Structure 1
Amino acid sequence: MRRSIIVTGGSGFIGSKVCAKLAAEGWQVHAWMRRKANFATSSGSERIESHQIDIYDDVAVRTALRESGARQMIHLAWGGLPNYLSCHHIDVELVQQIRFVRNVIEGGIEHITQTGTCFEYGAREGELHEHMDCHPTNPYGHAKLALLRYVEFLNREMPFRYRWLRLFYMYGEGQGAQSLYTLLRAAYVRGDTTFDMSAGHQIRDFMSISEIVARIIALHAADIPDGIYNVCSGNPISVRQLVEGWIADWGYDVRLNLGRFPIPSYEPLAFWGSNAIANAALKDNRNA
């Protein structure tokens, strides 16, 4: 029987690509979204069913769960982004997310993968790994970490499998209008000769959206221990190096206007992720 799965946030930057790749790999995908998305050009699009649904409507969620018959979920939906500093994440989103998670587990989901954030670690410098204590310094990081703790407690009450994937930085086509990749791409298309950005010396961990999506699906599908996994490259790189790499790849003749924008105050100067635990788990799963 074909594997069936629900993906929340199915029309988003990550979600739309997760749905498309799952379908291409043979899954029957139920894409839950606030606005309709067009998957017609995706390989295996006939295996994607789009559902316009408010995930915070308990009755609608229970009904959609019954109709889908799915027992697995990749939960990507989260409101209030990209404003990481808004208390909305704690005042509103966290409360709704907690209710949603309990609703779907009680409604029959047996295996759920959810995305967290590297901001859960807080203002830490250097390599970040899953066994570190977390001390988030912005509301978004606090809310995500609190939801993880709730999932861990809920898992003691009732049986279900879960993966918590801490995403680092990503880039690619279809990203938000204010993302560095999208802004640079638009400048390239316009033929701009200068590009304003920060000083660019901050060190981060970047992965292309295609790599992020592949890792999310692999970690969900693999027979590996439940718990927390970083989704990252494990390779520290400066933002300036990253941008210069894109420019070289595109053959773009542009002068970088460095220092035009400040580095966000809620981000440490240099941090990146360790992917050792995720890599080892997936390797052991392949060898089993």
Structure 2
Amino acid sequence: MTTVLVTGAAGYVGRHVVTALLERGVAVRAVVRPGSRSDVDPRADVVALDVLAPDADLDALLPDPVDAVVHLAWQDGFNHQAPSHVARLSDHYRLLTALVDRGVPRVAILGTMHEVGYWEGAIDEHTPTDPRSLYGVAKDALRRATLLGLADRAEVQWLRCFYITGDDRRNQSIFTRLLEAADRGQREFPFTSGVNRYDFIDVADLGRQIAVVVTTPGVTGVVNCCSGDPRSLGEMVEDFIARHDLGITLQYGAFPDRPYDSPGVWGDATRIHEILAADAR
């Protein structure tokens, strides 16, 4: 049976990746921070360990060989200007190097469209990167380092994700704020023009895409985990309000559109669609 080690398994994306892997018949060794176990699918083998700590006992993660690692653990992921992104960069590289040194043949690492920075149009595997946040800088540096430093000894998969929705009580998106506003009885919500178009993907769908990629031998480099279907923010928010019966009216134009937000950016889904189609066959 295929065995996959998942770090950050109790996180927003991690819980869905664990379940998607289990649904594929994969044995999952789920690594969580101490105290986070209740958030993980009970079918997984849960290990509590701070994998980024310099003294982490990584041998405890590998009592038996694993076929792949999905590295999702990341501090302050919702705060894109947190200094911890850059401060902990070497911890991520040290962890991944140590796992490859111990014989792990495939490592898949969660990336982000924020590596690219400002861009208009589709982002593909070769789009140049120019990150504008500490989060994007750190992710881009880790992508470059792992593809340069580890790809000669393991299959390195860089899973670039886009705008993640779903399970909205657990993220810090506009959809979270809408739910919180409804909880307060708020009936109007200040908003931008809502015309900007983005690539939205439900977190459960993202988990399934990641599960397929990490269990597919021979896939290396950047893979856009996305829908490839840009939709306007206003359309998505209006749909969300209606589906959840929030009774909220958007105040369009209450906030100006930010000059650093692209009018339209999305993932080129060609490669992920090819991988999913091959898996279905």
Using the size of structure 2 for normalisation, the TM-score is 0.90
Say if 1:224 and 1:191 are closer, same or farther in 2 by CA, change over 3 A.
farther
Farther off after superposition, 272-281 or 194-203 = 194-203
Select which of 177, 180, 192 maps to 1:183. 177
Aligned-pair RMSD on alpha carbons?
2.3
Residue 37 (structure 2) pairs with residue 37 (structure 1): yes
Distance in 2 between the 1:134 and 1:39 partners? 34
Q: Partner letter of residue 12 of structure 1?
A: G
Written as runs of structure 1 = structure 2, the 5 A alignment for 1:36-55 is 36-38=36-38, 42=41, 45=42, 47-55=43-51
Q: Identify the structure with bigger relative contact order (alpha carbons < 8 Å, sequence gap 6+).
A: 2
Any conservation in 1 of the 2:161–2:224 contact (CA below 8 Å)?
yes
Q: Partner letter of residue 63 of structure 1?
A: D
Gaps of 5+ in 1: none
Any conservation in 2 of the 1:224–1:281 contact (CA below 8 Å)?
no
Gaps of 5+ in 2: none
Any conservation in 2 of the 1:169–1:206 contact (CA below 8 Å)?
yes
How far the C-alpha of 1:191 sits from its partner, in A, is 4.5
Identity %: 28
Written as runs of structure 1 = structure 2, the 5 A alignment for 1:233-272 is 233-261=227-255, 263=257, 266-272=260-266
Any conservation in 2 of the 1:222–1:282 contact (CA below 8 Å)?
no
Give the match for residue 222 of structure 2.
Answer: 228
How far the C-alpha of 1:262 sits from its partner, in A, is 5.4
Using the size of structure 1 for normalisation, the TM-score is 0.88
Distance in 2 between the 1:100 and 1:263 partners? 40
Say if 1:175 and 1:6 are closer, same or farther in 2 by CA, change over 3 A.
farther
Distance in 2 between the 1:181 and 1:211 partners? 17
Residue 72 (structure 2) pairs with residue 76 (structure 1): yes
Say if 1:262 and 1:178 are closer, same or farther in 2 by CA, change over 3 A.
farther
Counting matched residue pairs gives 280
Distance in 2 between the 1:88 and 1:65 partners? 24
Residue 132 (structure 2) pairs with residue 137 (structure 1): yes
Distance in 2 between the 1:58 and 1:25 partners? 33
Give the match for residue 7 of structure 2.
Answer: 8
Farther off after superposition, 103-112 or 184-193 = 184-193
Q: Partner letter of residue 37 of structure 1?
A: R
For the residue of structure 2 that corresponds to 1:67, the secondary structure is: coil
